[in-house]
C-alpha cells in the first residue's frame, strides 16, 4: 500500500503567504520561501504553492517566487494559479515545479487538459476542484471561488479523468479555513468515483481530522492553518498517524 502523504499548502497573494476562511478574510502567514524551507526540514511529503488571485486578476503566476521556493527545497513541488497555456506550464516546470495544478483554465477550455497531458504527461497534471454544496449537490467553482460554473463535481471529476488528469486536488469551500475538519461527505463521494489519487483540502484543525480523511479513502491530506501558525508540526502528525495504523513516511 502506498504511503499517505502530508502536504502543506502555501496560498500566496502579492508575494506573501496568506490564509483565510471560506476563501475570504485573508491574513498574513509569512514569507513563502521561509515557510517552504521549514516544511522541507519537517519532512513534508510534498508542497503545494497556489497563487490564489492570479486567475481572477487574469495574470501569470509569480515565477520568481516559485523559483526561489524550488531552489531551497528537496521535496516535490506542485504549483497552481493563473495557468492558461502550455507555455505557462513549461515556464513553471523550468522554474522548478514538479507538477502543475489547473482549475479555471481547464473548466473554461477542457481541451487544454488533453493538450497538457499530451505534452507533459499525466504525472505532471493535477486538476484542482474547488467545491461548494448548493442544495443536495456539490458544484465546481473557479476564479478563486468567485464563480459558480454550475458543473456538478462528480460530472467534472469523471470528465477530467477521461481527459488524462493524473491527480485531483479537492478543496471544500465550505470547510476551508474553519478548522472544523474536512468535508467527509464530499471527499468520500469523490474518492469513491475517482480512479486517480485524491488530495483532500479544506478544514484541517487537528491531527484526528487528517486521520479521518485518510480512513475514507484520500491519498493525501493538504493543510495550511494548523501548520503555518505552529499549532502542530508535520512530524507530530506523522507520528500520530503511524500510531493509528495509517501508513506514512516517517
Catalogue the active-site residues.
11, 130
Q: Are 23 and 141 in contact (CB under 8 A)?
A: no
User: Which of 3, 4, 2, 8 minimizes the C-alpha distance to 225?
Assistant: 8
**φ, ψ (nearest 5 deg) of residue 23:** 75, 10
Rounded Cα–Cα distance for residues 131 and 12 (Å): 20
Helix ranges (H only) for the chain are: 32-41, 63-71, 86-95, 104-108, 111-120, 153-162, 184-193, 207-215, 225-228, 234-243
Cβ count within 10 A of residue 62: 21
Q: Is 151 exposed, middle or buried (0-12, 13-18, 19+ CB in 10 A)?
A: middle
The beta strand positions in 14-53, using DSSP E, are 16-21, 24-30, 47-51
Amino acid at each position: 500500500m502506498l504511503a499517505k502523504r502530508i502536504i502543506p499548502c502555501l496560498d500566496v497573494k502579492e508575494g506573501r503567504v496568506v490564509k483565510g476562511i471560506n476563501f475570504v478574510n485573508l491574513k498574513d502567514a509569512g514569507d513563502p520561501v521561509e515557510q517552504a524551507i521549514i516544511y522541507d526540514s519537517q519532512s513534508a511529503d510534498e508542497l503545494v504553492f497556489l497563487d490564489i488571485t492570479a486567475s481572477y486578476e487574469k495574470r501569470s503566476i509569480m515565477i520568481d517566487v516559485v523559483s526561489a521556493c524550488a531552489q531551497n527545497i528537496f521535496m516535490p513541488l506542485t504549483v497552481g494559479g493563473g495557468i492558461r497555456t502550455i507555455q505557462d506550464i513549461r515556464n513553471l516546470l523550468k522554474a522548478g515545479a514538479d507538477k502543475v495544478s489547473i482549475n479555471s483554465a481547464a473548466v473554461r477550455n477542457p481541451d487544454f487538459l488533453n493538450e497538457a497531458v499530451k505534452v507533459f504527461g499525466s504525472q505532471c497534471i493535477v486538476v484542482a476542484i474547488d467545491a461548494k454544496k448548493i442544495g443536495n449537490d456539490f458544484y465546481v467553482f473557479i476564479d478563486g471561488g468567485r464563480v459558480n460554473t454550475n458543473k456538478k463535481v462528480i460530472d467534472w471529476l469523471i470528465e477530467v479523468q477521461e481527459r488524462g488528469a493524473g491527480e485531483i486536488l479537492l478543496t471544500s469551500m465550505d470547510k476551508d479555513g474553519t478548522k472544523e475538519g474536512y468535508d467527509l461527505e464530499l471527499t468520500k463521494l469523490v474518492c469513491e468515483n475517482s480512479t486517480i489519487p485524491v488530495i483532500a483540502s479544506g478544514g484541517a484543525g487537528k491531527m484526528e481530522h487528517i486521520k479521518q480523511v485518510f480512513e475514507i479513502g484520500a491519498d493525501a491530506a493538504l493543510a495550511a492553518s494548523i501548520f503555518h501558525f505552529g499549532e502542530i508540526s508535520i512530524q507530530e502528525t506523522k507520528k500520530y498517524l503511524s500510531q493509528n495504523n495509517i501508513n506514512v513516511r516517517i
